[in-house]
Amino acid sequence: MYQVGSCNPLTKILDEINRDLPPEEKNAMRDRIVDGIYDSAEKIAGKVVSRENRKQINWDQKIDDIITSRLLGFPLMLILLGVVLWLTVTGANYPSQVLAAALFRLQDLLSGLFIQAGAPAWLHGLLVEGAYMSLAWVVSVMLPPMAIFFPLFTLLEDLGYLPRVAFNLDNFFRRAGAHGKQSLTMSMGFGCNAAGVISCRIIESPRERLIAILTNNFIPCNGRFPILITLSTVFMGGAVAASCRSAAATAVVVGLVLTGVIITLLVSKLLSKTLLRGAPSFFILELPPYRRPQAGRIIIRSVLDRTLFVLGRAVVVAVPAGVATWLLANTFIDSSSLLCYAAGSLDAFARHLGMDGFILIAFILGLPANEIVLPILLMGYISSGTMVEPDSLAALHNILVGQHGWTWFTALSVMLFSLLHYPCGTTLLTIFKETRSLKWTLIALLMPLSVALLVTFALTRAVRLLGLV
């Protein structure tokens, strides 16, 4: 029997074959070797398995024949994605309203304390209407969806379904020069891109781990879902009956998610051919058996390890953003705020992207946290000096369409830009900590911004040439 080592003749022969073969044939040879090992293991196991056990139905195999089949695998993935998104959106709606109401009642108490203490107006505005209001927005918008999404995601992970997702998508990522496990990190990005970046640690190859980190942003997180869902409900959902509005909005959001997945694959392919050249590494994915989820493990991993961890980082970057936004909105030159001046200077450029200056400045100021983009935009539109939320979708429609001339194309441009633009401050901070490189952090900032600008510019030119707006 040969022993593994440098003097092993079999090892030398395999090394020579591996060196001379092209990458495609190397993978095929490895597949044949793995298949042979598993076939031999099954034959050996078959000699010791009792006849009674042979008659038992292998339910895991039967379920996998459906879930991982070429015909039903992807439709089932899309249906499950739609159900998870629908549960997250529908389930988080009421808790978000309750939490926002509680936090803004606390804001009234804080305002009363500042008034009783005789604090100057600028200090009250800076700390309460700026820092605290931004904090309240981020917590009320992020916490309920994460509290629903992460347990659902952990449940699927604990059940054993996520390895099946990686199996279904492995071929696409391998063709893109990436790693099959990137599908798992991509799925984690639905809850939070920062958590998705952290989960890239499961990829052993440094090159492919970096590809996964740089492209995770193209998957919409729960900070961007409010914009996508709200605008799709107001504009696309508004075109159908009220009873079908939620279904129409969900369908549009699922379409945007698929767009993000396609962009992820295309950019991964581009990176693997340019900045991060190399052949995709080979890995063996053994599908684990389905198992009963453990409630304690789900709660600990989803709430403590993911929800609270990500929320804490978001709070750190959201508070300074609220302060900066309040200063810009309440510092005036010739009866016009710095926020209005900044929006005016960007307006001509933003028109080429299907948007306006206020939209673009809202995205810039929303860099620390995507949750505050829409409140900043509305604050600029109505010149309130503080972040606001309309009382209803009808009121939002009146502000956007009636007062500022939005069309369906404006909404589509904003949704695409929100889907593709740079990561939030929390994710950028996480990328820097994971890569320990300022260079790759800057690339993670500029690369998706370039993609967002290119896509919205090309779409605007095409729509205007066709005379659709």
pLDDT on residue 450: 96
386: left (phi over 0), alpha (psi -120 to 50) or beta: beta
Query: Exposed, middle or buried: residue 122 (CB in 10 Å: 0-12, 13-18, 19+)?
Result: exposed
Distances (CA, A) of 196 to 119, 215, 284, 288, 310: 43, 10, 22, 22, 10
The one-letter code for the residue type at 220 is P
β-strand partners of 332: 337
Express each pLDDT in 411-454 by its tens digit. Answer: 999 999 999 999 998 899 999 999 999 999 999 999 999 999 99
Confidence of residue 388 (pLDDT cuts 50, 70, 90): low
- Give Rg (Cα) of the chain: 26
Number of H helices, E strands in the chain: 22, 2
What is the distance between the alpha carbons of residues 357 and 342, in angstroms, rounded to a whole number? 8
Q: Are residues 386 and 326 in contact, defined by beta-carbon separation less than 8 angstroms?
A: yes
Q: Are residues 125 and 154 in contact, defined by beta-carbon separation less than 8 angstroms?
A: no
Q: What is the mean pLDDT of residues 278-289?
A: 70
Q: What is the mean pLDDT of residues 280-292?
A: 71
pTM (two decimals): 0.77
Confidence of residue 34 (pLDDT cuts 50, 70, 90): low
Asked if the model's pLDDT at residue 56 lies above 70, the reply is: no
Express each pLDDT in 243-267 by its tens digit. Answer: 677 777 778 888 998 999 999 999 9
**Residues 6+ positions from 115 with CB-CB distance below 8 Å:** 124
What is the distance between the alpha carbons of residues 400 and 425, in angstroms, rounded to a whole number? 27
Query: Exposed, middle or buried: residue 320 (CB in 10 Å: 0-12, 13-18, 19+)?
Result: middle
> How many angstroms separate the most distant Cα atoms in the chain?
90
Express each pLDDT in 344-383 by its tens digit. Answer: 999 999 999 999 999 999 999 888 888 788 888 888 888 7
Asked if the model's pLDDT at residue 49 lies above 70, the reply is: no
Distances (CA, A) of 36 to 43, 281, 304, 326: 11, 20, 43, 66
Express each pLDDT in 323-333 by its tens digit. Answer: 888 888 888 88
Strand, helix or coil at 76? helix
pLDDT on residue 446: 96
467: left (phi over 0), alpha (psi -120 to 50) or beta: left
Confidence of residue 6 (pLDDT cuts 50, 70, 90): very low
Report which secondary-structure segment, H or E, holds 67.
Answer: helix 59-67
pLDDT on residue 12: 61
pLDDT on residue 357: 94
Buried b (16+ CB within 10 A) or exposed e, 65-101: eebbeeeebeebbeeebbebbbebbebbeeebeebbe
Cβ neighbour number for residue 458 with a 10 Å cutoff:
11
CA 190 to chain centre: 4
In terms of Cα–Cα distance, which of 254, 251, 222, 223 is closest to 239? Answer: 251
Confidence of residue 11 (pLDDT cuts 50, 70, 90): low
Q: Higher confidence at residue 36 or residue 215?
A: 215
